[in-house]
Amino acid sequence: MRPLRLLARQLSQAAPLSRPTNARPVKIVEVGPRDGLQNEKTPLSTELKVELIDRLVRVGLNDIEAGSFVSPKWVPQMATTAEVLTSPTLARLRAENPSLSLPCLVPNDRGMHALSTLLDKHAEPLTNEVALFVAASKGFSRANLNKSVAEALAVQPPIFEAAKQRGLKVRAYVSVVLGCPFEGYVDPKKAARVAKELLDMGAYEVSLGDTIGVGVPRGWEELLNECERAGVPVDKVAAHCHDTYGTAVANVLHCVSLGVPTVDSSVAALGGCPYSPGATGNVSTEDVVYALHESGIPSSFLPEPHPGSLLAWNDRGREGRTRFEELCEAGEWVSEAIGRTNGSRVGKAVRGRKQREAQKKAKL
Ligand code: HMG
Ligand code: MG
């Protein structure tokens, strides 16, 4: 039996921890335009950021982190978030896709205030959701937020309150849940405690970030168990994997098999971690879509149990395959725009296959 088929069968036979039998398709949250681009050396112009979001919506992604209201001194790549959100193209996308979600990251009161001021100036709702973040380790918290973990938690309630008053949902990240560039191993109990606090403050979901990409399926399982023990149910969790050690897709599949309903990913594996030399980007959306689909797991990208393979081994499932190929093209396009190689393994393989096919055609 082919390895992927075997994996699909094993996944379908495994008894998940608490995945409901009528579970919805795995939700994919595309984080490339924020978490991805913020860590890329070459900044993308507002126009190209908007084009990236446009392409991602057109291929069928519905949850796309659009930017952040953070210090432009620290993260100059995100300085144009207000322009992105207010662009006519995004207005059209929101009008055409009422369920489109474009969360924005706010690190503090000041970021929330900047977003609120922008929202006040526009009659149209520019976003329905904010994201905030706290680290699981002291060292990372100090480097990324200039605060201890306790101090970082203490600044969150006013952000929750302001978001609530505006009817904005709040998604919370916990960074460095499995390893920290300054402290090494992170006790999953610490990450679970931070996740629980953020859930209690009102987050509808907590995204657990393996920011430096050291996690393996066993570590993720321990972390999810600690979360359950701390009172964070698995259906409130999103898996945010990075691929530094090549284990991100395995981690995603394992988390999903354990009942995690949401996966964060980034087109072309955009991103990295400024404090961790050698850390690669977020797991790529192309790789996640491919792995889920070929394992028989419906996702928000391909919600129906889909008849054909994305590898075009037969003629079935053409519509989904076309969108998948367009997603891969978006990854190629943005990689070229920022002048780096495509970080998606699947994206590279699809490009290679297309080149071969084009060469074959040319020979005929
Ligand atoms: P601070 O406590 O004010 O201290 O902000 P600071 O010294 O870092 O402030 C620097 C300057 O930024 C000051 O201006 C502040 O007023 C200003 P100055 O007085 O020098 O003229 N400032 C701001 N400007 C605009 N918008 C704001 C804002 N806040 C302060 N919201 C803080 C500390 C951490 C908030 C700030 O340094 C900052 O915004 N840093 C960037 C943080 C960031 O975006 N990190 C990346 C996100 S986390 C992440 O990516 C991981 C995650 O994706 C998960 C994963 O991948 O695993 C979530
Ligand atoms: Mg990330």
The model's pLDDT over 250-289, given as tens digits with 9 standing for 90+, comes to: 999 999 999 999 999 999 999 987 777 777 889 999 999 9
Sign of the C-alpha dihedral computed for residues 121, 99, 169 and 186 taken in this order: negative
140 lines ligand 1 (CB under 6 A): no
d(CA 280, CA 273): 7
pLDDT score at 280: 82
Cα gap 246→243, rounded to integer Å: 5
Element (H, E) at 82: helix 81-85
Which residue's alpha carbon is at the smallest distance from atom 53 of ligand 1?
A: 35
What's the predicted TM-score (pTM) here? 0.93
Could you report the per-residue pLDDT of 324-347, keeping only the tens digit for each?
A: 999 999 999 999 999 999 999 999
Q: For residue 109, which atom of ligand 1 is closest to its CA? A: 31
Shortest CA distance to 336 belongs to which of 350, 347, 325?
Answer: 347
Across 32-51, average pLDDT: 95
111 lines ligand 1 (CB under 6 A): yes
Confidence tier at 360 by pLDDT (50, 70, 90): confident
Going by the DSSP 8-state scheme, the letter that residue 32 receives in this structure is: I
% the chain with pLDDT above 90: 79
Question: Any idea which ligand is nearest the CA of 145?
Answer: 1
If one counts every other C-beta atom within 10 angstroms of the C-beta of residue 121, the result is 10
Question: Is the Cβ atom of 110 under 6 angstroms away from ligand 1?
Answer: yes
127-139: per-residue pLDDT in tens?
999 999 999 999 9
Beta bridge partners of 284: 266
- Is the per-residue pLDDT at 20 higher than 60? no
Between the CA of 165 and the centroid of ligand 2 the distance, in Å, is: 28
Around ion ligand 2, which residues have CB less than 5 A away? 35, 282
Catalytic residues: 273
The alpha carbon of 107 and the centre of ligand 1 are apart by a number of angstroms equal to: 6
Inform me whether the pLDDT recorded for 65 exceeds 90.
yes
pLDDT of residue 5: 47
Chain segment 86-123, per-residue pLDDT in tens: 999 999 999 999 999 999 999 999 999 999 999 999 98
Where would I find the beta strands (DSSP E) of the chain? 27-30, 67-68, 104-105, 129-135, 169-175, 179-180, 184-185, 205-210, 237-241, 262-265
Exposure letters 225-254 (e unless 16+ CB within 10 A, then b): ebbbebebebebbbbbbbbbbebbbbbbbb
- Does the Cβ of 117 fall within 6 Å of ligand 1? no
Distance 265 CA to ligand 2 centre (A): 8
Ligand 2: centre distance to CA 214 (Å): 13
